[in-house]
Amino acid sequence: MAGAIGDASVRTKFKEWMAKFGRIYTDAAEEERRFQIFKNNYEYIESVNRAGNRSYTLGLNNFADMTDDEFQENQDSCLDPSPPNSESMIGSFRYANVTDVPEFVDWISNHAVTRCEDAGNCASCWAFAAAAAIEGINAIKTGLLAPVSAQQLVDCDVASHGCNGGGLDRAFFFLLVNGGIAAALNYSYTGRQGECRGGVPPVATIRSYEAVPPNNESALKQAVANQPVSIGVCTRNPEDIKWYSGGLFKGPCGTCQNHAMTVIGYGTYDSSDPSSKYWMLKNSWGEHWGVNGFMFIQREAGPPEGLCGLAKSPIYPVK
């Protein structure tokens, strides 16, 4: 009887989740199949949180009725695994000699970060991660925080693959060739690749882009002290990043560089605890994931490439 009550409780949760995220299934059989997936995910999340042995918590989000394979197909393979071609960068690492590096930076508070968007079923994290860095440097240099169009990158950057993934360096190169990027308001996100629209005036421009020296979190800190920086991260093995809902993520995770985010700050939770240093990341999985779409991940965790490979190939635009 206890098991039946438990199932009923989870089914109530599932109905509430369906209403919250607007899920409607084709028939009763599909709904039941999705419920079983939801139940497995929910039980995993609850078991982790009950154990209380992690520095972060997990929570239900818009992925809760998806299998791991579906998640990886739709959300988790959006960054071209090839690292940015540093030889094609225009200019060297301009922050190499910066010594005045504060111990806390938050580009949200400094009005250089827009709200987190949801890429949907389009593997366009590369476009959103590049857009966030462009928005950041544009706001820092002009005082204008204007959301820019990830959709224009999806539709028009022919060197990338639209909703099948792309590259951060290619996104920045597109801006140079195109003469800038449109405002999101004028070229809105659809979640699918369409025909490239011409004649949309740019709201932001850049004059070059540069790479942070790879596998160097000190250099990444120098860069992020001056502007948001686009990065590749590994969101696989295990699945906790998918369910992350708050706290300091300390892994474990790999270094596969399958997903793109943007570093928009850093700091330390407790100055007496070196393991509490963090990077603050902006994601493109919507505001129901993480902390309103943002993530805190351990900084200087040990490996030179950073936790989840975040320091392997950072890149930023120059204005």
Residue 84 lies in a domain: yes
- State CA 174 to chain mean position distance: 20
Out of 61, 156, 234, 259, which one is annotated catalytic?
259
Q: Does 259 participate in catalysis according to the annotation?
A: yes
Confidence of residue 36 (pLDDT cuts 50, 70, 90): very high
Confidence of residue 117 (pLDDT cuts 50, 70, 90): very high
Q: 272 and 217 share a domain?
A: yes
Q: 178 and 47 share a domain?
A: no
User: Do β-strands 244-249 and 56-58 pair in parallel, antiparallel, or remain unpaired?
Assistant: antiparallel
Residue 65 lies in a domain: no
**What is 193-228 written as a DSSP string?**
--PPPP-PPEEE--SEEEEPPTT-HHHHHHHHTTS-
Q: 27 and 115 share a domain?
A: no
Average pLDDT for the chain: 92
- Domain carrying residue 6: 2-53
Out of 41, 62, 258, 283, which one is annotated catalytic?
283
Q: Does 161 participate in catalysis according to the annotation?
A: no
Calculate mean pLDDT across residues 42-50: 95
Q: 219 and 90 share a domain?
A: yes
Calculate mean pLDDT across residues 4-10: 72
Q: 10 and 118 share a domain?
A: no
Predicted confidence at residue 77, as pLDDT, reads 77
Total number of domains constituting the chain: 2
Q: How confident is the model over 155-203, as pLDDT tens digits? A: 999 999 999 999 999 999 999 999 999 999 999 999 999 999 999 999 9
Q: 149 and 93 share a domain?
A: yes
Q: 140 and 253 share a domain?
A: yes
Residue 240 lies in a domain: yes
Predicted confidence at residue 76, as pLDDT, reads 65
Predicted confidence at residue 87, as pLDDT, reads 53
3-class secondary-structure state, position 106: strand
User: In this structure, what are the phi and psi dihedrals at residue 267, rounded to the nearest 5 degrees?
Assistant: 175, -160
Q: What is the 8-class DSSP label of residue 308?
A: G
For residue 2 the two structure tokens come to: 């206890």
CA–CA separation, 67 and 204 (whole Å) = 38
Neighbours of 132 (CB within 10 A): 30
Confidence of residue 85 (pLDDT cuts 50, 70, 90): low
Q: What's the one-letter identity of residue 44?
A: Y
Q: How far is CA 232 from CA 7, 119, 260, in A?
A: 39, 16, 4
Q: 104 and 237 share a domain?
A: yes
Q: Does 78 participate in catalysis according to the annotation?
A: no
Q: 23 and 80 share a domain?
A: no
Predicted confidence at residue 82, as pLDDT, reads 63
Out of 122, 125, 156, 253, which one is annotated catalytic?
125
Q: 152 and 29 share a domain?
A: no
pTM (two decimals): 0.94
Residue 270 lies in a domain: yes
